Amino acid sequence: MTRLIIGAMVRAIGAYPSGWRYPGAHRDPRNDAGVLRLTARLAEQARLDYLFFGDWLATGHDLEHRDPYLVARIDPLSTISHLAAVTDRIGLIATVDSTYADPYPVARATASIDLLSGGRAGLNLVTSADPRAALNHGVDFERVNPTRYDRAVEFEAVLRRLWDSFDDDAIVADAASGRFLAPGSLHETGFRGEHVRSAGPLNVLRPVQGHLPIVRSGGSPRSQLIAAQSADLALVAANDLAHAVSVREELRALAFESGRDDRTLKVIAPVLPIVGETRADAQQLADELSELMQLVEDWPDGPPPGFPASRSLASLSTLVGVDLAGRSPDLAVTPSVAEQFGAAGQQLVEIVAERTGRTPGGTRPPTLRHLVVAAAVNAPIIVGTAADIAGEFETWGEAGAVDGFNVLSAVQPSQFEAFTSLVAPELVRRGVLPPAYEGETLREHLGLERPESSFARPSYAGAHI
């Protein structure tokens, strides 16, 4: 089996919208630090390649119900700085929004973290399409939105120039001659683009990894092109195996056409495994999480402002082709009800059966709530034992669908503990994960070479250390 990249996309209160409501789940962001340290320790013991921290630059009551993990969260750069001090080998990837950030302080912070962590930092560069984020930064969304991808390209170019400000052997510290810097080892890195400007050079030494691994995500043609041209990791949400194979092939082709070695672009898919000692245990957890999800109909006088309209019987009616208005969300879906559904409804019934074990006509039939949840929770979910989940990973890897996975946890910390204690050893047994870390830096974990500086020159011959 080909070695896959396995990272964890960390959401401190869990990635499933109702996960924080599950008994024993972490639900108070004031105590995130302890959960983050536990997650880092478990991930490193399991020899995962990295921890990945996303970001969102605004908050609101709508997020409380749609994506509660976004309501209140610690800044990603602060998070990886903290975790770098309590880990030794695992990579740490933070997100920065290039639409509003200044490249000089980002280059300075990321180079510093890479040096302090021994080369374990990575950077996920995103662009924002949220008007609230623009307001929080005092800019006009209508002005910045049309050019955010152009700015993203310039932002990355500036970062790479700034990281190359010093040669790797710039510091000679020759006490006898009084020379601290090798001649010509500090470079002019000035950049004046249409959207980004920086005089440089950076006042931090070149990162241990040369350049931090750059991550890009997004499904738009422009975001995929940017990822193909320069990213090290491309995060791609795929609907199924065939779709994943197609997207990876397209990204690799774009990378090759841009003039780079397409093998250096690693395509990573998010996945949310729900893990149990037995398949029935896993399905029971998935079932309980579905029942903890609130729908529009749960409020007799109407849901709170901003509640997702997709979590309703009205939305389900449109999908299945049957008017369900006035019915209870907890009405059982019997065979006579299910046979009225169109193709999309039949597919939802199959998804619910796979995830929860509930089937129309069975001893535990699904309810309308289960179908609404299956349609509304937009996540690639795998429910089963360690062997089930590892087998699915293996299938995708062997099919050339992905180079690795970003693992989400429905409930924290229990489901992450289940993944690291049950699934990770099975992945090691199958050769998907190595039995021990094989490198020191994040680049080495990802199978990437260290880039040469854009200002590469012969080593300073007169250096005396």
Dist. CA 274–CA 419, nearest whole Å:
8
CB 318 within 8 A of CB 307: no
**How many C-alpha atoms does 158 have within 13 Å on its Cβ side?**
28
- 220 appears as a binding residue in the annotation: yes
CB 128 within 8 A of CB 218: no
Here the tokens at position 61 are: 């009551």
Question: Can you say how many angstroms the Cα of residue 127 is from the centroid of all Cα atoms in its chain?
Answer: 14
- 165 appears as a binding residue in the annotation: no
CB 273 within 8 A of CB 419: yes
Q: Three-state DSSP class for 91? A: strand
Of 283, 295, 279, 277, nearest to 352 (Cα)? 283
Q: Is 138 left (phi over 0), alpha (psi -120 to 50) or beta?
A: left
Here the tokens at position 238 are: 């795929």
Q: Is 275 left (phi over 0), alpha (psi -120 to 50) or beta?
A: beta
Question: Can you say how many angstroms the Cα of residue 200 is from the centroid of all Cα atoms in its chain?
Answer: 31
Of 402, 80, 408, nearest to 274 (Cα)? 408
Within 297-342, where are the H helices? 313-320, 335-338
Nearest-5° Cα angle at 143, 141 to 147: 105
Burial label for 180, CB within 10 Å (0-12, 13-18, 19+), is exposed
CB 23 within 8 A of CB 78: no
- 16 appears as a binding residue in the annotation: no
Q: Three-state DSSP class for 122? A: strand
- Which segments of 182-302 are extended strands (E)? 191-192, 197-198, 214-217, 233-235, 266-275
Beta bridge partners of 381: 272
Task: Residue 300: count other Cβ atoms within 10 Å of its Cβ.
Answer: 5
- 149 appears as a binding residue in the annotation: yes
Dist. CA 421–CA 404, nearest whole Å:
19
Tell me the binding residues for FMN: 55, 95, 149, 220
Residue ranges of the binding site: 55, 95, 149, 220
